[in-house]
Structures are given as C-alpha cells and as structure tokens.
C-alpha cells in the first residue's frame, strides 16, 4: 500500500491482527422529529443512534474499514438499541453495561430553514461514566487510527481520564490520534474548557476543527494564527472544516485546500463527523491529504443531503461515483 504523505507525514501501515480504527465516546439514542415541526409541537419521531464518535465509526465501517467503537451504556432497552446499531453498521462494538445508570437520550428537530433545537437527557448517563476499563479488549494499542472528541473529554472527570490514557497509549505505539474539539456549549464552559482540551493536543496527530472552534481553542484572532498555535502544541496536521466552502489542511511543510461540494441540504447535523470519517478513510486507503479532503467533503455532502446523522453515509462505491471517480449511473 502506498503511504499517505504530506510534508513528510505518513500513516502507519496495517499490521496483522490489528484494526484500522478505534473510536470511543458516548453513543446516544436519538429521537428526531419526523414531521418537520419544532420540538414543542412535533408529534412523530424517528429513532436512531448517534454520537460524535459513533458517527465517525459508522462512517468508517460503511466505507469498508475494520472499526471498533468503545462506550458504556445502561443495562436497559436503549442500551440494547445501541448494541444493535453497532451490529447494523458493521462496527465491532465494545460496550460496557452499567447497571447503575441509563443510556443517554437526545431529542431534536430537523430543519434547514431555522436553527436546530436539541434536548438531552445525559447528565449522569452511563456514557458519561466511561472509564479506562471500558477500553479493555479494544485495539487502542494495535490500531492505525484512534479517534475521539472534546465531548467525551468534558462529560466527567472519569471520562477525561479515559481520554488522556487512550490518547497517550495509542500515540506511544505510532498510531495516528485524531481529535475533534466538537464544541458543545451546553456541555462546555467557554473559559474553563479551553485549557482542558488544549492540554490533550500533545498526544494528537490530526486535529480536525471548524474555523471558529480552532480560533476559540487557540484563543487567537484568526484561523491562520490559530493553526500556527495548534501545530506548536503537538499535532502534525491541522484540518480546518468549513462546510460548503471546503477544507484546508496545514502541516509544518505545507498547506492544501479542497473545495466544498454543492448539495441541497436536508439536515445539517452530522456533517462534521461525516467529514472526519471520509478524511480518515482516505488516509487509511493511502490517499494524499488533498484527495482525503476531497473525499471527506463528498461524504459530508451526502450526509447533509439525507435526514439523520448517519443515514446518508455512503459506501465506497457511492462515495466514488459522487466524487467523480466512477460513472454517475450505476446499472
């Protein structure tokens, strides 16, 4: 397999018995308003399973990679829903059962013409109590890529300890550690959270962030200054996601850009996670950083063109046809 290189960077080669990627965090059972109404008047809901890291794992699995997802669920029916979702997506699930807590729930509406309203029932959930022991049996130290987000880091002191351990353990083996701040102001204090997330970057190889997120994390005036700051903290590659405007990747020796993919958006939620899945998939497949960003933009576009966080995730054939790598009509 050709190595993925960008300014002297290369992704670890696959190892016998290893996995392509490990993702860990909280998986939530989501109830999405199915009638286009705001939450206060919605009467019908569609049930699915979501979560920043779960979405990335689902995207990578759909694209043909061997992926493990680690989390913690309640010993309840919704925990079974999460387990079934892992199997349905082709994810190797490592889900600890927590008899003393419950599986977290998310409720939201779905509209592109107004802000999406999201409600949570996750305080004290099983997922927020994720511990290092929940990663037992996962290939944290035998994977090519490990991915998590700032959401898991702030759910509880216990989950932060787990993030610190996993990032350091994977990084020490030469795996690429991928981290997305994934800012959620309902969970994160705008001042106190910044040093917590910044302290994780010394064990991160790929930082994936929106421009506003990166500027906030770096406490700088613009994206260029924030990117330079981030590279000084440890990441070898900083990827700025900018939705329909495309994406930019910067390493110590270069910068690359990829244009966005025009698409009619049905549901904007899940685009960032889809981009992460498409980008990491590209690197795992030996693509250049430019090619990986182009694929990531295509995967994200397909997701926002369908309702739900994961329903629009493509397989490799659809990704290739959508990004122009194969014919536009599959007969």
Residues marked active site are found at 273
CA distance 225 to 105: 38
| Cα–Cα nearest to 54, from 266, 236, 295, 309 | 309
Query: In 219-331, which residue ranges form alpha helices assigned H by DSSP?
Result: 223-233, 271-284, 289-304, 316-322
Is the distance from CB of 306 to CB of 312 less than 8 angstroms? yes
Is the distance from CB of 30 to CB of 121 less than 8 angstroms? no
Per-residue burial over 215-238, b if 16 or more Cβ lie within 10 Å, else e, is bbbbebeebeebbebbbebbbbbb
CA distance 170 to 300: 27
End-to-end CA distance of the chain: 30
How many Cα atoms sit within 13 Å of 95 on the Cβ side? 26
Both tokens assigned to 54: 């779960």
CA distance 154 to 247: 26
CA distance 34 to 87: 24
CA distance 24 to 22: 7
Is the distance from CB of 32 to CB of 49 less than 8 angstroms? no
Other beta carbons within 10 angstroms of residue 304's beta carbon come to: 22
């Amino acid at each position: 397999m050709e190595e993925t290189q960008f300014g002297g960077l290369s992704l670890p080669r696959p190892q016998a018995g290893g996995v392509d990627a490990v993702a860990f965090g909280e998986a939530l059972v989501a109830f999405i308003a199915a009638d286009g109404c705001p939450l206060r008047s919605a009467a019908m809901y569609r049930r699915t399973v979501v979560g920043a890291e779960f979405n990335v794992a689902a995207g990578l699995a759909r694209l043909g990679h061997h992926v493990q997802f680690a989390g913690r669920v309640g010993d309840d029916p919704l925990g079974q829903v999460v387990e079934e979702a892992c199997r349905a997506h082709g994810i190797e699930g490592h889900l600890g059962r927590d008899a003393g807590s419950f599986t977290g729930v998310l409720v939201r509406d779905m509209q592109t013409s107004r802000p999406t309203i999201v409600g949570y029932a996750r305080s004290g959930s099983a997922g927020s109590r994720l511990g290092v022991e929940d990663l037992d049996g996962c290939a944290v130290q035998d994977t090519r890529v490990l991915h998590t987000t700032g959401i898991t880091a702030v759910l509880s002191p216990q989950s932060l300890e787990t993030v610190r351990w996993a990032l350091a353990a994977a990084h020490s083996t030469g795996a690429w550690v991928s981290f997305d701040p994934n800012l959620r102001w309902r969970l994160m204090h705008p001042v106190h959270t910044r040093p917590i997330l910044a302290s994780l970057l010394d064990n991160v190889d790929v930082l994936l962030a929106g421009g506003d997120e990166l500027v906030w994390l770096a406490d700088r005036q613009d994206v260029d200054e924030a990117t330079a700051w981030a590279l000084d903290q440890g990441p070898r590659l900083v990827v700025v996601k900018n939705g329909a405007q495309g994406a930019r990747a910067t390493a110590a020796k270069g910068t690359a850009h990829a244009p966005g993919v025009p698409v009619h958006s049905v549901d904007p939620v899940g685009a960032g996670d889809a981009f992460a899945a498409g980008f990491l998939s590209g690197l795992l497949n030996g693509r250049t950083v430019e090619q990986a960003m182009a694929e990531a933009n295509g995967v994200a576009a397909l997701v926002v063109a369908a309702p739900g966080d994961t329903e629009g995730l493509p397989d490799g054939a659809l990704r290739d046809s959508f990004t122009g790598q194969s014919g536009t009509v599959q007969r």
